[in-house]
Protein backbone atom coordinates (compact mmCIF):
# COMPACT_ATOMS: atom_id res chain seq x y z
CA UNK A 1 0.00 0.00 0.00
CA UNK A 2 1.36 3.39 -0.98
CA UNK A 3 2.32 5.97 1.62
CA UNK A 4 2.39 8.81 -0.93
CA UNK A 5 -0.64 10.56 0.59
CA UNK A 6 0.98 10.73 4.00
CA UNK A 7 4.26 11.89 2.49
CA UNK A 8 2.42 14.70 0.70
CA UNK A 9 0.74 15.67 3.97
CA UNK A 10 4.13 15.77 5.66
CA UNK A 11 5.62 17.94 2.89
CA UNK A 12 2.64 20.31 2.96
CA UNK A 13 2.88 20.70 6.73
CA UNK A 14 6.62 21.38 6.68
CA UNK A 15 6.24 23.92 3.85
CA UNK A 16 4.68 26.34 6.34
CA UNK A 17 8.00 26.63 8.20
CA UNK A 18 10.97 28.76 7.16
CA UNK A 19 13.05 26.73 4.67
CA UNK A 20 16.01 29.07 5.23
CA UNK A 21 16.21 28.14 8.92
CA UNK A 22 19.12 25.70 9.29
CA UNK A 23 17.34 23.87 12.12
CA UNK A 24 14.27 23.30 9.94
CA UNK A 25 16.42 22.02 7.07
CA UNK A 26 18.28 19.74 9.47
CA UNK A 27 15.03 18.12 10.62
CA UNK A 28 13.67 17.61 7.10
CA UNK A 29 16.82 15.74 6.10
CA UNK A 30 16.83 13.85 9.40
CA UNK A 31 13.25 12.72 8.86
CA UNK A 32 13.97 11.08 5.52
CA UNK A 33 17.15 9.45 6.82
CA UNK A 34 15.19 7.94 9.71
CA UNK A 35 12.55 6.68 7.27
CA UNK A 36 15.28 5.00 5.22
CA UNK A 37 16.87 3.35 8.26
CA UNK A 38 13.53 2.24 9.70
CA UNK A 39 12.52 0.65 6.40
CA UNK A 40 15.80 -1.27 6.33
CA UNK A 41 15.42 -2.52 9.89
CA UNK A 42 11.81 -3.56 9.22
CA UNK A 43 12.90 -5.47 6.11
CA UNK A 44 15.40 -7.44 8.21
CA UNK A 45 12.70 -8.65 10.60
CA UNK A 46 10.27 -10.30 8.20
CA UNK A 47 7.34 -8.05 9.08
CA UNK A 48 4.10 -8.06 7.12
CA UNK A 49 3.34 -5.43 4.46
CA UNK A 50 0.90 -3.65 6.78
CA UNK A 51 3.41 -3.65 9.63
CA UNK A 52 6.12 -2.26 7.37
CA UNK A 53 3.74 0.52 6.39
CA UNK A 54 3.21 1.47 10.03
CA UNK A 55 6.98 1.52 10.54
CA UNK A 56 7.35 3.82 7.53
CA UNK A 57 4.67 6.22 8.77
CA UNK A 58 5.92 6.30 12.37
CA UNK A 59 9.38 7.14 11.05
CA UNK A 60 7.99 9.80 8.72
CA UNK A 61 6.16 11.58 11.54
CA UNK A 62 8.47 10.78 14.48
CA UNK A 63 9.85 14.35 14.69
CA UNK A 64 6.82 16.26 13.43
CA UNK A 65 6.83 18.16 16.73
CA UNK A 66 10.33 19.53 16.10
CA UNK A 67 9.16 22.05 13.51
CA UNK A 68 6.74 23.80 15.83
CA UNK A 69 9.30 23.56 18.64
CA UNK A 70 11.84 25.45 16.53
CA UNK A 71 9.27 28.04 15.44
CA UNK A 72 8.19 28.76 19.01
CA UNK A 73 11.43 28.38 20.94
CA UNK A 74 14.32 28.34 18.42
CA UNK A 75 15.85 25.31 20.12
CA UNK A 76 15.82 21.51 20.09
CA UNK A 77 16.36 21.46 23.86
CA UNK A 78 13.19 19.87 25.27
CA UNK A 79 13.95 20.84 28.87
CA UNK A 80 14.10 24.51 27.85
CA UNK A 81 11.05 24.40 25.60
CA UNK A 82 8.60 21.53 25.13
CA UNK A 83 8.63 17.73 24.89
CA UNK A 84 8.85 17.49 21.11
CA UNK A 85 7.68 13.87 21.02
CA UNK A 86 4.54 14.55 23.07
CA UNK A 87 3.90 17.65 20.95
CA UNK A 88 4.31 15.54 17.81
CA UNK A 89 1.73 13.02 19.05
CA UNK A 90 -0.75 15.85 19.63
CA UNK A 91 -0.07 17.33 16.18
CA UNK A 92 -0.74 13.94 14.57
CA UNK A 93 -4.14 13.86 16.25
CA UNK A 94 -4.99 17.48 15.44
CA UNK A 95 -3.89 17.43 11.81
CA UNK A 96 -5.46 14.02 11.09
CA UNK A 97 -2.40 12.96 9.08
CA UNK A 98 -3.21 9.29 9.71
CA UNK A 99 -6.89 9.36 8.73
CA UNK A 100 -6.48 6.53 6.20
CA UNK A 101 -5.45 4.10 8.95
CA UNK A 102 -7.73 2.20 11.30
CA UNK A 103 -8.13 3.59 14.81
CA UNK A 104 -5.88 0.85 16.21
CA UNK A 105 -3.18 1.55 13.63
CA UNK A 106 -3.35 5.29 14.29
CA UNK A 107 -2.92 4.63 18.00
CA UNK A 108 0.14 2.46 17.36
CA UNK A 109 1.88 5.09 15.22
CA UNK A 110 1.03 7.89 17.65
CA UNK A 111 2.37 5.87 20.59
CA UNK A 112 5.65 5.19 18.77
CA UNK A 113 6.01 8.92 18.09
CA UNK A 114 5.09 9.88 21.66
CA UNK A 115 7.68 7.67 23.36
CA UNK A 116 10.51 7.70 20.82
CA UNK A 117 12.71 10.05 22.84
CA UNK A 118 11.95 8.68 26.30
CA UNK A 119 14.70 7.01 28.31
CA UNK A 120 13.00 3.62 27.98
CA UNK A 121 9.98 2.05 26.30
CA UNK A 122 6.98 1.78 28.65
CA UNK A 123 6.52 -1.73 30.04
CA UNK A 124 2.90 -1.78 28.89
CA UNK A 125 3.93 -1.50 25.22
CA UNK A 126 3.96 -5.12 24.06
CA UNK A 127 3.67 -7.20 20.89
CA UNK A 128 3.96 -5.28 17.64
CA UNK A 129 3.67 -1.97 19.50
CA UNK A 130 6.97 -2.71 21.22
CA UNK A 131 8.60 -3.76 17.95
CA UNK A 132 7.40 -0.54 16.32
CA UNK A 133 8.72 1.51 19.24
CA UNK A 134 12.10 -0.23 19.04
CA UNK A 135 12.51 0.23 15.30
CA UNK A 136 11.74 3.96 15.43
CA UNK A 137 14.06 4.52 18.38
CA UNK A 138 16.86 2.60 16.64
CA UNK A 139 16.41 4.43 13.34
CA UNK A 140 16.37 7.79 15.11
CA UNK A 141 19.61 7.00 16.91
CA UNK A 142 21.28 5.82 13.70
CA UNK A 143 20.73 9.16 12.01
CA UNK A 144 21.53 11.20 15.10
CA UNK A 145 25.07 9.85 14.72
CA UNK A 146 25.12 11.29 11.18
CA UNK A 147 23.74 14.62 12.37
CA UNK A 148 26.37 14.82 15.11
CA UNK A 149 29.11 14.07 12.57
CA UNK A 150 27.99 16.47 9.82
CA UNK A 151 26.00 19.35 11.28
CA UNK A 152 27.18 22.43 13.14
CA UNK A 153 27.54 21.93 16.92
CA UNK A 154 25.66 25.21 17.30
CA UNK A 155 22.64 23.73 15.49
CA UNK A 156 22.73 20.42 17.35
CA UNK A 157 23.72 21.43 20.89
CA UNK A 158 23.97 25.21 20.97
CA UNK A 159 27.70 24.98 21.66
CA UNK A 160 30.79 26.30 19.95
CA UNK A 161 33.80 24.07 19.41
CA UNK A 162 35.74 26.32 21.77
CA UNK A 163 33.18 25.71 24.51
CA UNK A 164 33.36 21.95 24.05
CA UNK A 165 37.15 21.99 24.12
CA UNK A 166 37.08 23.47 27.61
CA UNK A 167 34.54 20.95 28.96
CA UNK A 168 35.11 17.87 31.05
CA UNK A 169 33.20 14.57 31.10
CA UNK A 170 30.94 14.14 34.12
CA UNK A 171 31.58 10.95 36.14
CA UNK A 172 28.00 9.67 35.84
CA UNK A 173 28.06 10.12 32.06
CA UNK A 174 31.35 8.26 31.71
CA UNK A 175 30.14 5.49 34.00
CA UNK A 176 26.86 4.99 32.11
CA UNK A 177 28.56 4.46 28.74
CA UNK A 178 31.23 2.17 30.18
CA UNK A 179 28.50 0.12 31.89
CA UNK A 180 26.52 -0.13 28.62
CA UNK A 181 23.66 2.10 29.72
CA UNK A 182 21.97 5.07 28.10
CA UNK A 183 22.87 8.42 29.66
CA UNK A 184 20.20 10.18 31.68
CA UNK A 185 19.63 13.77 30.56
CA UNK A 186 19.70 14.82 34.21
CA UNK A 187 23.27 13.51 34.55
CA UNK A 188 24.65 15.71 31.77
CA UNK A 189 26.53 18.74 33.04
CA UNK A 190 28.37 20.04 29.97
CA UNK A 191 28.27 20.27 26.19
CA UNK A 192 30.86 17.50 26.04
CA UNK A 193 28.51 15.32 28.11
CA UNK A 194 25.90 15.92 25.40
CA UNK A 195 28.24 14.52 22.75
CA UNK A 196 29.40 11.62 24.92
CA UNK A 197 25.77 10.69 25.60
CA UNK A 198 25.39 9.75 21.92
CA UNK A 199 27.71 6.82 22.57
CA UNK A 200 25.24 5.60 25.17
CA UNK A 201 22.68 5.17 22.40
CA UNK A 202 24.52 2.05 21.28
CA UNK A 203 23.55 0.13 24.42
CA UNK A 204 19.87 0.69 23.58
CA UNK A 205 19.99 -0.60 19.98
CA UNK A 206 17.58 -3.49 19.62
CA UNK A 207 18.40 -5.25 16.36
CA UNK A 208 21.53 -6.53 14.56
CA UNK A 209 20.50 -4.56 11.45
CA UNK A 210 20.60 -1.38 13.54
CA UNK A 211 24.12 -2.02 14.82
CA UNK A 212 25.27 -2.95 11.32
CA UNK A 213 23.92 0.31 9.90
CA UNK A 214 25.78 2.28 12.58
CA UNK A 215 29.01 0.43 11.78
CA UNK A 216 28.58 0.79 8.01
CA UNK A 217 27.94 4.52 8.18
CA UNK A 218 30.79 4.97 10.67
CA UNK A 219 29.52 8.35 11.88
CA UNK A 220 29.31 7.36 15.54
CA UNK A 221 32.96 8.14 16.35
CA UNK A 222 33.68 11.08 14.03
CA UNK A 223 32.83 14.05 16.31
CA UNK A 224 34.89 12.79 19.23
CA UNK A 225 37.75 11.68 16.99
CA UNK A 226 37.86 15.20 15.53
CA UNK A 227 37.83 16.70 19.00
CA UNK A 228 40.94 14.67 19.77
CA UNK A 229 42.70 15.84 16.61
CA UNK A 230 41.49 18.92 14.75
CA UNK A 231 40.15 20.74 17.79
CA UNK A 232 42.93 19.77 20.17
CA UNK A 233 41.37 18.69 23.45
CA UNK A 234 44.53 18.96 25.50
CA UNK A 235 43.49 17.73 28.95
CA UNK A 236 45.19 14.29 29.27
CA UNK A 237 42.50 12.79 31.49
CA UNK A 238 39.71 13.86 29.15
CA UNK A 239 41.56 12.53 26.11
CA UNK A 240 42.09 9.19 27.84
CA UNK A 241 38.43 8.98 28.82
CA UNK A 242 37.29 9.67 25.26
CA UNK A 243 39.59 6.96 23.92
CA UNK A 244 38.23 4.48 26.49
CA UNK A 245 34.64 5.37 25.59
CA UNK A 246 35.25 4.98 21.86
CA UNK A 247 36.87 1.57 22.36
CA UNK A 248 34.03 0.40 24.59
CA UNK A 249 31.39 1.57 22.13
CA UNK A 250 33.08 -0.19 19.22
CA UNK A 251 33.11 -3.45 21.16
CA UNK A 252 29.41 -3.17 22.02
CA UNK A 253 28.48 -2.34 18.43
CA UNK A 254 30.39 -5.30 17.04
CA UNK A 255 28.77 -7.63 19.56
CA UNK A 256 25.27 -6.37 18.76
CA UNK A 257 25.83 -6.62 15.02
CA UNK A 258 26.52 -10.35 15.38
CA UNK A 259 23.60 -11.18 17.66
CA UNK A 260 21.05 -13.56 16.11
CA UNK A 261 17.66 -12.02 15.38
CA UNK A 262 15.45 -13.10 18.27
CA UNK A 263 11.96 -14.44 17.70
CA UNK A 264 9.72 -11.40 18.02
CA UNK A 265 6.05 -11.07 18.79
CA UNK A 266 4.36 -9.03 16.10
CA UNK A 267 0.79 -9.43 17.25
CA UNK A 268 -1.08 -6.17 17.79
Show the DSSP H helices in 166-221 as ranges.
171-178, 191-200, 208-217
Q: What was the pLDDT predicted at 235? A: 87
* Residues in Cβ contact with 202 at an 8 Å cutoff, skipping those fewer than 6 apart: 211, 214, 220, 249, 252, 253, 256
* Predicted pLDDT at 161: 64
Contact 133, 121 (CB under 8 A): yes
What is residue 1's predicted lDDT score, i.e. its pLDDT?
A: 44
Residues 6+ apart with CB under 8 A from 182: 119, 120, 176, 197, 200, 201, 203, 204
pLDDT single digits (tens) 47-84: 999 999 999 999 999 999 999 999 999 999 899 999 99
Task: Find the mean pLDDT for residues 19-32.
Answer: 95
Give 151's DSSP letter.
S
pLDDT digits (tens, 9 = 90+) for 175-223: 999 999 999 999 999 888 988 999 999 999 999 999 999 999 999 999 8
Question: According to the model, what pLDDT value does residue 155 have?
Answer: 61
CB 133 within 8 A of CB 206: no
pLDDT over 70 (residue 145): yes
> Percent of the chain having pLDDT more than 90?
80
Average pLDDT over residues 227-232: 76
Domain-wise residue ranges, the chain: 4-258
**What span, in angstroms and rounded, lies between the C-alpha atoms of 237 and 219?**
24
Mean per-residue pLDDT for 4-9?
95
The pLDDT-based confidence of 154 (bands split at 50, 70, 90) is low
Which of the four CATH numbers 1.10.3210, 2.40.128, 1.20.140, 1.20.1530 does domain 4-258 have? 1.10.3210
Let me know: does 256 contact 208? Beta carbons within 8 Å.
Answer: yes
Rounded to the nearest integer, the mean pLDDT of the chain is 93
CB 169 within 8 A of CB 191: no
Report pLDDT for 160.
Answer: 67
The share of the chain scoring above pLDDT 70, in percent, equals: 91
pLDDT for 229 equals 84
pLDDT at 151: 73
- Interval 234-251: pLDDT, tens: 889 999 999 999 999 999
At 167 the pLDDT is 86
When pLDDT is averaged across residues 120-149 and rounded to a whole number, the result is: 97
Amino acid sequence: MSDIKEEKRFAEYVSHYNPEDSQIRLKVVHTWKVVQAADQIAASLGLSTDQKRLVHLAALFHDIGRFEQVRRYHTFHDAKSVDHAALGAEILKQEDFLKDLSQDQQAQVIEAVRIHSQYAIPQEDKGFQRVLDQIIRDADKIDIFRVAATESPKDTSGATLETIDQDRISPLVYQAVMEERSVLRSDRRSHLDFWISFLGFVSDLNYPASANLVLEQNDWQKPLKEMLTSYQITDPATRSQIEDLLAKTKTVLEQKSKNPVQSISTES
